């Protein structure tokens, strides 16, 4: 593909903020992939839609996060006066080495396989408790009653958040998913996000004081000990990354559970297949991740001139890798718009790749596998109450449902 073929058309191919797109972005992704797989938008950044190109971008060390530069280019230098953006500068999610390496190493051991294996009985207990509360009712809102409380409890356990403090976290996220969308937030959205962030700062500072007095077997205690050891973690980094871990530790898993169950129940033959062959649950979770990814895009900045997909990106250029588009690439997946629980060799891009591959990916998979296996066993006649009218969150980057009414 030549450089000229990727020139931005006179009108954008799709509007990522439109309700129609947010309900179903995949037709637009197919159109964009066919028209210009590496496409320069009217706003000046690039988007990549093919699986091969997205995988290459995420693994190539000639691309970095470039968060500060990208953010200032999009919003101006005054953006750092906003509390939430000032904090984001310290998220390991947006950092490049060596800071990214240093911060990630501090929390990686909490997500080691032996630690996650030890969590399985607790996750099963939480799944059963959620279902015990609704089993006799014959209906539930899956997001409110199951998908949200499960990962919130799990990450609260891991962070050492006491049971008596958890009520504040069951009202939904206090930091808007719009924060990481490519389209800017409105002033009202930004104000609400700042307020939610400052509430979390106040809470976690009180938790830090508690854990300094009463250390626990949790990530918060481990990070506080690293901070006190000196030069491993600053106070700003500590606060920012605890808040990041809490948000990332449940937001995408809520979406995985909701999007996955919607896909499964919207294809009754696949639900029946999984009931008959529960050993396919692990493979089915990979297909759920591919079919309707919880995270739809991730950004990178070219650190030097780089050729991708026949197009040369200049040093400093930003490229958004559309994970949801890569997961529906027909060159990688046969009949990509079909949902099949027995699909083999899926390897979705939903958790990113390279050094920023999602640290919590194994935990999310465990939570989903236990959740769906238990739903199949305990509620085998589960059905959608509003199959033709799912309610989607008004965010692009984090794709998920606001409600999912079920009956049995």
- CATH (domain of 166): 1.10.630.10
Q: How many residues are listed for the chain in this entry?
A: 408
Q: How far apart are CA 308 and CA 52, in angstroms?
A: 10
Cα end-to-end distance, the chain, whole Å: 52
Mean pLDDT of 220-234: 81
Q: Which stretch of 61-65, 115-119, 134-138, 274-278 has the lowest confidence by average pLDDT?
A: 115-119
State the average pLDDT for the chain. Answer: 91
Q: What is the pLDDT of residue 207?
A: 95
Q: How far apart are CA 258 and CA 379, in angstroms?
A: 16
Q: How far apart are CA 359 and CA 72, in angstroms?
A: 27
pLDDT band at 33 (very low <50, low <70, confident <90, very high): very high
Instruction: Provide the domain limits for residue 189.
Output: 4-407
pLDDT band at 173 (very low <50, low <70, confident <90, very high): low
Q: How far apart are CA 217 and CA 160, in angstroms?
A: 7
Q: What is the pLDDT of residue 373?
A: 98
Higher per-residue confidence, 13 vs 70: 70
Q: How far apart are CA 166 and CA 164, in angstroms?
A: 6
Mean pLDDT of 372-377: 98
What does the CA dihedral 97, 100, 102, 103 come to, rounded to 10 degrees? 170
pLDDT band at 228 (very low <50, low <70, confident <90, very high): low
- Given a cut of 60, whether residue 7 has pLDDT beyond it is no
Q: How far apart are CA 121 and CA 133, in angstroms?
A: 19
Share of the chain above pLDDT 90, in %: 74
Q: Among residues 335, 333, 371, 369, which one has the least CA distance to residue 349? A: 333
Q: Which two tokens stand for residue 15?
A: 């509007």
Contact call for residues 375 and 135 (beta carbons, < 8 A): no
pLDDT, tens only, 182-194:
777 888 989 998 9
Q: How far apart are CA 349 and CA 184, in angstroms?
A: 25
pLDDT band at 242 (very low <50, low <70, confident <90, very high): very high
Is the sign of the CA dihedral 147, 367, 342, 135 positive or negative? Answer: negative
pLDDT band at 174 (very low <50, low <70, confident <90, very high): low
Count structural domains, the chain: 1
Name the one residue in this structure whose structure tokens are 């093919």. 50
Residue 139: which H helix or E strand, with range?
strand 139-141
Residue 299: which H helix or E strand, with range?
strand 297-302
Crossing angle for the helix pair 113-134 and 149-159, nearest 10 degrees?
140
Residue 131 CB coordination number (10 Å)? 18
Higher per-residue confidence, 172 vs 362: 362
Q: What is the pLDDT of residue 41?
A: 87
Q: What is the pLDDT of residue 391?
A: 92
Q: What is the pLDDT of residue 230?
A: 66
Cα distances (angstroms) measured from residue 83 to each of 79, 184, 191, 198, 237: 9, 16, 10, 8, 14
Mean pLDDT of 341-367: 95
pLDDT band at 5 (very low <50, low <70, confident <90, very high): very low
Q: Among residues 161, 165, 159, 152, which one has the least CA distance to residue 220? A: 159
Q: What is the pLDDT of residue 13?
A: 66
- Given a cut of 80, whether residue 11 has pLDDT beyond it is no
Q: What is the pLDDT of residue 70?
A: 84
């Amino acid at each position: 593909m030549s450089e000229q073929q990727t020139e931005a058309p006179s009108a954008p191919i799709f509007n990522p903020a439109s309700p129609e797109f947010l309900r179903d972005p995949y037709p637009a992704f197919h159109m964009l992939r066919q028209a210009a797989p590496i496409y320069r938008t009217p706003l000046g950044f690039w988007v990549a839609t093919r699986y091969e190109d997205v995988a290459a971008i995420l693994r190539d060390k000639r691309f970095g996060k470039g968060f500060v530069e990208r953010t200032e280019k999009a919003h101006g230098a005054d953006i750092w006066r906003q509390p939430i953006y000032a904090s984001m500068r310290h998220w390991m999610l947006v950092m490049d080495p060596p800071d990214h390496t240093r911060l990630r190493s501090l929390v990686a051991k909490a997500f080691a396989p032996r630690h996650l294996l030890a969590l399985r009985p607790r996750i099963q207990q939480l799944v059963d408790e959620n279902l015990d509360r609704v089993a006799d009712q014959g209906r539930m809102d899956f997001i409110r009653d199951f998908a949200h409380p499960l990962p919130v409890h799990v990450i609260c356990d891991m962070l050492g958040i006491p049971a008596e403090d958890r009520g504040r976290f069951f009202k939904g996220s206090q930091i808007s998913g719009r924060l990481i969308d490519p389209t800017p937030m409105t002033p009202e959205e930004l104000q609400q996000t700042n307020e939610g962030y400052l509430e979390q700062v106040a809470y976690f500072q009180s938790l830090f004081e508690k854990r300094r007095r009463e250390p626990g077997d949790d990530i918060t205690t481990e990070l506080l000990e690293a901070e006190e050891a000196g030069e491993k973690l600053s106070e700003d980094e500590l606060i920012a990354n605890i808040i990041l871990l809490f948000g990332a530790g449940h937001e995408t898993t809520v979406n995985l559970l909701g999007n996955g169950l919607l896909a499964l129940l919207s294809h009754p033959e696949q639900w029946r297949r999984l009931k008959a062959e529960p050993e396919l649950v692990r493979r089915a979770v990979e297909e759920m991740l591919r079919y309707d990814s919880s995270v739809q895009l991730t950004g990178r900045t070219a650190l030097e001139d780089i050729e991708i997909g026949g197009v040369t990106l200049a040093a400093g250029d930003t490229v958004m890798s559309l994970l949801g588009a890569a997961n529906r690439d027909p060159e990688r997946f046969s009949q990509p718009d079909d949902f099949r629980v027995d699909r083999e060799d899926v390897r979705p891009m939903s958790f990113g790749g390279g050094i920023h591959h999602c640290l919590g990916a194994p935990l999310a998979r465990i939570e989903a596998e236990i959740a769906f296996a238990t739903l199949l066993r305990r509620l085998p006649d589960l059905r959608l109450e509003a199959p033709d009218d799912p309610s989607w969150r008004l965010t692009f980057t984090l794709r998920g449902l606001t409600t999912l009414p079920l009956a049995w």
